[in-house]
Structure 1
Amino acid sequence: MPVPYNFDEIIDRRGTGSLKWHYNDDTIALWVADMDFKAAPPILNTIERVLQHGVLGYTKPTDALYQAIIDWHGSRYGLALNKKHILFSHGVIPSLALMLRMFTEAEDAVMVNDPIYAPFMTKVEQNSRTLVTSALKEVEGKYQLDLADIEAKIVEHEVKLYLLCNPHNPGGRVWTRDELQALLSICKKHDVAIVSDEIHQDLTLNGHTFTPFLTLAEGYEHKVVSLTSMTKTFNVAGIKSSIIFAKDEALINKINWQQRLSDEHDLNLFAYEVTYSAYKEGREWLAQALTYIETNIEFAVQFLNQHLPDIKVMRPEASYLIWLDCSAYGQDDKTLYDALRDAKVELSAGIQYGDAGHLKLRLNVACPKALLIEGLNRMHAALNSVNGHK
Structure 2
Amino acid sequence: MLYPKPLFFLILENTVLYNFDEIIDRHHTGSLKWHYTDDTIALWVADMDFRAAQPILKTIERVVHHGILGYTKPTEALYQAIINWHGSRYGLALDKQHILFSHGVIPSLALMMRIFTEAGDAVLVNDPIYMPFMNKVRDNGRRLILSPLTEAEGRYQLDLADIEAKIIEHEVKLYLLCNPHNPGGRVWTVDELEALLVICKKHDVAIVSDEIHQDLTLSGHKFMPFLRVAKGYEHKVVSITSMTKTFNVAGIKSSMIFAKDEALIKKISQQQRLSDEHDLNLFAYEVMASAYEQGGEWLAQVLTYIEANIELVCRFLEQHLPNVKVMRPEASYLIWLDCSAYGQDDQTLYDQLRDAKVELSAGIQYGDEGHLRMRLNVACPKALLIEGLNRIYLAFSDIKSLSGR
TM-score w.r.t. length of structure 2: 0.95
Once the two structures are superposed, residues 269-313 of structure 1 have per-residue CA deviations (whole angstroms, 9 ceiling, x without a partner) of 000000000000000000000000000000011001111100010
Can you list the C-alpha shifts for 1:150-171, whole angstroms capped at 9, x where unaligned? Answer: 0000000000000000000000
Correspondence 1:125 to 2:138: yes
Indicate the residue corresponding to 1:74 in structure 2: 87
Aligned position for 2:107: 94
3-state SS, counterpart of residue 3 of structure 1: strand
For structure 1, which runs of at least 5 residues remain unmatched after alignment? Answer: none
| Other-structure match for 1:356 | 369
1:63 and 2:79 correspond: no
Runs of 4+ in 1 over 2 A off after TM superposition: 385-390
**Structure 1 residue 383, shift from structure 2 partner:** 1.4
Is 1:260 aligned with 2:293? no
Question: What is the SS of the residue equivalent to 1:208?
Answer: coil
1:221 aligns to 2:237 (yes or no): no
Partner SS, residue 100 of structure 1: helix
Distance 1:95 1:388 in 2: 43
**1:234-383 alignment to 2 at 5 Å?**
234-383=247-396
Take 1:292 and 1:374, find their aligned partners in 2: how far apart are those partners? 17
How many residue pairs are counted as aligned between the two chains? Answer: 390
C-alpha displacement of 1:3: 2.2
Match of 1:29 in 2: 42
Q: 2:241, 2:257 within 8 Å by CA — same for their partners in 1?
A: yes
Q: How far does the alpha carbon of each residue in 1:236-293 deviate from its partner, in whole angstroms, 9 at most, with x for none? A: 0000000000000000110001000100011000000000000000000000000000
Of 175, 178, 189, the match for 2:202:
189
Q: 2:58 is matched with which residue?
A: 45
Q: Secondary structure at the match of 1:236?
A: coil
Structure 1 residue 151 corresponds to structure 2 residue 185? no
After TM superposition, give the deviation of residue 386 of structure 1 in Å: 3.3
Q: Distance in 1 between matches of 2:234 and 2:44?
A: 36
Residue 385 of structure 1 deviates from its aligned partner by 2.5
Cα distance in 1 between the residues matched to 2:136 and 2:96: 29
> Retained in 2: the 8 A contact 1:336–1:386?
no
Q: Partners of 2:94 and 2:101 in 1: how far apart?
A: 14
| Superposition deviation, residue 387 in structure 1 | 5.1
Q: CA deviation at 1:388?
A: 6.9
Distance in 2 of aligned mates of 1:245 and 1:388: 47
**8 Å Cα contact 1:331/1:359 also seen in 2:** yes
Helix, strand or coil at the partner of 1:111: strand
Q: CA deviation at 1:4?
A: 1.0
Task: Answer yes or no: is 1:162 the counterpart of 2:171.
Answer: no
Q: CA deviation at 1:212?
A: 0.0
Check whether the contact 1:339–1:386 (CA below 8 A) recurs between aligned residues. no
Q: Secondary structure at the match of 2:32?
A: coil
Tell me, in whole angstroms, the C-alpha distance in 1 between the residues paired with 2:326 and 2:231.
37
SS of 2:326 mapped into structure 1: strand
Give the distance between the partners of 1:51 and 1:195, measured in 2 at CA.
36
Q: Which of 108, 116, 127 in structure 2 is aligned with 1:103? A: 116
Question: Any conservation in 2 of the 1:136–1:146 contact (CA below 8 Å)?
Answer: yes
- Aligned to 2:187, the other structure's residue is in SS state coil
Secondary structure, in 3 states, of the residue corresponding to 1:4? strand
Q: Work out whether residues 33 and 321 of structure 1, in 8 Å CA contact, stay in contact via their aligned partners in 2.
A: yes
Which of the numbers 75, 91, 115 marks the counterpart of 2:128? 115
Q: Gapped runs of 5+ residues in structure 2? A: 1-12
Q: Shift of residue 16 of structure 1?
A: 0.4
Could you tell me how far apart the structure 2 residues matched to 1:354 and 1:95 are?
A: 21
Mapped to 2, the partners of 1:132 and 1:368 lie a distance apart of 39
Distance in 2 (alpha carbons) for counterparts of 1:36 and 1:330 = 29
User: 2:36 & 2:398 partners in 1: Cα distance?
Assistant: 23
Read off the aligned partner of 2:66 and give its amino acid letter: H
**Structure 1 CA distance, aligned partners of 2:165 and 2:399?**
40
Alpha-carbon contact 1:307-1:380 (below 8 Å) kept: yes
Are residues 1:202 and 2:219 paired? Answer: no
- Measured against aligned partners, the alpha-carbon deviations of 1:84-108 in whole angstroms (never above 9, x if no partner) come to 0000000000000000110000110
Aligned to 1:231: 244
**Is 2:225 the partner of 1:212?**
yes
Please name the residue that 1:10 is paired with. Answer: 23
Cα deviation digits, residues 89-140 of structure 1 (max 9, x gap)? 0000000000011000011000000000000000000101000000000000
Distance (whole Å) between structure 1 residues aligned to residue 16 and residue 374 of structure 2: 36
Q: Name the CA distance, whole Å, in 2 between partners of 1:387 and 1:129.
A: 43
Query: Percent same amino acid at aligned positions?
Result: 80
Contact 1:330 1:387 in 2 (8 A): no
How big is the shift at 1:376? 0.3
| 8 Å Cα contact 2:119-2:141 kept in structure 1 | yes
